[in-house]
Amino acid sequence: MDTTSTSRKAFLSSIITTGLALAGCAPKKDPFELAAGEHAKASGEKVKLLSVDGEVIEVDKAFLRPVPEMPAVSNSEERRGIPGKKFVMVIDLSRCKNLRFCEKACNHAHHLHTGLNWLKVYPMDEAEHTAPYWEPTMCMHCDEPPCVKVCPVDATFKRQDGLVLIDSDRCIGCRFCMAACPYSARVFNWEKPDTLTAEEVCQPYSCETSVPQKVGTVGKCDFCPDMARKGELPHCVSACPNGVYFFGDLNEDSVTNGAETFRFSELIRDKAGYRLMDDLGTKPSVYYLPPVARNFPFEKGLENDNEKS
């Protein structure tokens, strides 16, 4: 009983969303009419569904088509942000061994073109006689974002919850933001993303999921606000088995990696947290804990590194 009610709900909402999707997409892709009438053959297996006017109808299973995913909120809401939040990330460098699960999870979740990474792990070494360490970087979601300053068309914008996001339907592909970002956080879709299915290409773009990526526009880490709306952690945070990433809300003063939760202010105070290139005045939202009392030796990470430096 429980399962049928959820599937009914899903079906009803899918009808609504299909209608919305049709407005922004090529009309040929109607998952019901055309596909059912012309391309699908009846399998004989019937499924009971509730129609829009409240009647129970029987539909052949072969006529059912997945419906494109719709953004949960409107574009203007996506541009405003989640009220009352101020998202922060803390990255504990003493725990990172360049496993790069974060990178894979991120690439998978955002359907990035093969070879593009929004999340990058660098082998860093400050000077000749200092110890090397692994440093994951992503978009720093700066409070003084140099990229937003230079964007001529408001395609990249700062939200009240601190996030810097991209509207790929607005981006003109001038790449000024890439030149402006000192963290090399932005990547460009030089060609059509090869990871997208036909349905995903057609799906309306959401600034919060950053899917689907579009050729000729800029992409970057979005701090997964769609996950935050669901009360879940960003993909990189939950993918990391070593608990390197802590995500949270500055207003609540708490950050978590899923297993452990800390008061943000205490964590930063006790472990001497800092921000990357803070001297530039960009005011990043990503904080780093220095690589002291490490869990792994630096060399451990070399086996996952594609590039011998």
Instruction: Tell me which residues touch another protein (CB under 8 A).
Output: 115-117, 120-124, 137, 146, 149-155, 170-176, 178-180, 182-184, 186-192, 215-218, 277, 280, 305-307, 309
If one counts every other C-beta atom within 10 angstroms of the C-beta of residue 6, the result is 9
> Rounded to the nearest whole angstrom, what is the least distance from the CB of residue 64 to another protein in the complex?
34
Phi, psi (5° rounding) for residue 133?
A: -150, 165
- Asked whether the beta carbons of 72 and 271 are under 8 A apart, the reply is no
> Rounded to the nearest whole angstrom, what is the least distance from the CB of residue 178 to another protein in the complex?
5
Dist CA 191 CA 116 (whole Å): 11
> Rounded to the nearest whole angstrom, what is the least distance from the CB of residue 223 to another protein in the complex?
19
> Rounded to the nearest whole angstrom, what is the least distance from the CB of residue 273 to another protein in the complex?
19
> Rounded to the nearest whole angstrom, what is the least distance from the CB of residue 173 to another protein in the complex?
2
Based on CB atoms, which residue is closest to another protein, 192 or 294? 192
Dist CA 241 CA 163 (whole Å): 25
Based on CB atoms, which residue is closest to another protein, 142 or 233? 142
Based on CB atoms, which residue is closest to another protein, 8 or 175? 175
Based on CB atoms, which residue is closest to another protein, 44 or 152? 152
Helix (H) or strand (E) holding 136: strand 133-137
Helix (H) or strand (E) holding 133: strand 133-137
Query: Helix %, strand %, coil % for the chain, to 5?
Result: 30, 15, 50
Based on CB atoms, which residue is closest to another protein, 93 or 267? 93
